[in-house]
Amino acid sequence: MGNLNKQQIENLAEHLENAELQAHDVTKITDEFPDMTYEDAFDIQWEIRRRKEARGNKIVGMKMGLTSWAKMAQMGVEHPCYGFLADYFSIPDGGEIKHDELIHPKVEAELAFVTKAPLQGPGIHIGDVLRATDFVMPAVEIIDSRYRDFKFDLKSVIADNSSSSRFVAGGNMAKPEDLDLKNLGVVMEINGEVVQLGAGAAVLGHPASSVAMLANMLAERGEHIPAGTFIMIGAITAAVSVKKGDNFTVRYQGLGTVSGKFV
């Protein structure tokens, strides 16, 4: 059930999207709209998506967020969320990310699943996800909450497309049956220094659970995950703030590295 009307949804979508496009922060929207519901929050996110598509941007994937205890504890939020990825969020492996286009970016070590069959919830489980997965590959997300000092609640962050901003996919792809996804180790380095360590099981006990949860959350809106979708599963470790000039390399056990530089 929603408590906001169509006009309020559209206004809030414009407000949050402008903050993204102009790289300025705003206060969390639940301060002004304390009665807004989760449905309102997703309506705002889907309206931002509609605005981008109407402008000619392509949607190139989906992401889950707040799927690890490290992230939930870091952000003080206790349930995962999802967002979409637009074409211009994508940065080539080893590429440059323009810091001035962002507000206060943080880097996250993630994995991405690419599907070869549709996943339609409810009731999707890890087995369904593994059967529908074409391959898994390393990905780094650069999140950039539009909220001042990254201070938000779950409804506000959902409306803000779950802080989506940029991502880098790279390394090597592998079939899920050739990977030990729970034990898959990741090491994040910033400027050559190790800053975070983790393993796949940090994400909801098994990386594939995150994709299952996405399918089941989308089903609540009558949506599904089509074949050929690129899905980031959420940060395995806490997110790390970066400044202009910083470079990052994330090493993935058996899957190579993903790197980039903030300029």
Q: What is the binding site for ligand OOG (CB under 6 A)?
A: 65-67, 71, 75, 108, 141, 143, 145, 150, 157, 162-163, 234-235
In the window 234-253, what residues touch Mg ion (CB under 5 A)?
Answer: 235
In whole angstroms, how close is the CB of 141 to Mg ion at the nearest point?
4
- Per-residue binding string, Mg ion, 49-78, x by CB under 5 A, is ----------------x-------------
In whole angstroms, how close is the CB of 65 to ligand OOG at the nearest point?
3
Residue 212 binds: one of ligand OOG, Mg ion, none (C-beta under 5 to 8 A by kind): none
Q: What DSSP string runs through the chain? A: ---S-HHHHHHHHHHHHHHHHHT--B--GGGT-TT--HHHHHHHHHHHHHHHHHTTPPEEEEEEES-BHHHHHHHT--S-EEEEEEGGGEE-TT-EE-GGGSSS-EEEEEEEEEESS-B--SS--HHHHHHHEEEEEEEEEEE--SBGGG---HHHHHHTGGG--EEEE-S--B-GGGS-TTT-EEEEEETTEEEEEEEGGGBTTSHHHHHHHHHHHHHTTT--B-TT-EEE---SS--EE--TT-EEEEEETTTEEEEEEE-
Q: Which residue has the tokens 């901003």?
A: 165
Of 218, 66, 240, nearest to 157 by C-alpha is: 66
Cβ proximity to ligand OOG, 202 vs 215, nearer residue = 202
In whole angstroms, how close is the CB of 81 to ligand OOG at the nearest point?
7
* Residue 141 sits in the site that holds Mg ion (CB under 5 A): yes
Residue 23 to residue 99: CA distance in whole angstroms: 10
Residue 249 binds: one of Mg ion, ligand OOG, none (C-beta under 5 to 8 A by kind): none
In whole angstroms, how close is the CB of 78 to ligand OOG at the nearest point?
12
Cβ proximity to Mg ion, 33 vs 200, nearer residue = 200
Question: Nearest residue to ligand OOG, using CB?
Answer: 65
* Residue 160 sits in the site that holds Mg ion (CB under 5 A): no
Residue 163 binds: one of Mg ion, ligand OOG, none (C-beta under 5 to 8 A by kind): ligand OOG
Cβ proximity to Mg ion, 144 vs 246, nearer residue = 144
In whole angstroms, how close is the CB of 116 to ligand OOG at the nearest point?
24
In whole angstroms, how close is the CB of 68 to ligand OOG at the nearest point?
7
Q: Please, what is the angle between helix 6-22 and helix 38-54, to 10°?
A: 60
Residue 99 binds: one of ligand OOG, Mg ion, none (C-beta under 5 to 8 A by kind): none
* Residue 108 sits in the site that holds Mg ion (CB under 5 A): yes
Residue 113 to residue 95: CA distance in whole angstroms: 21
Which residues of this chain interact with Mg ion, rule CB under 5 A? 65, 108, 141, 235
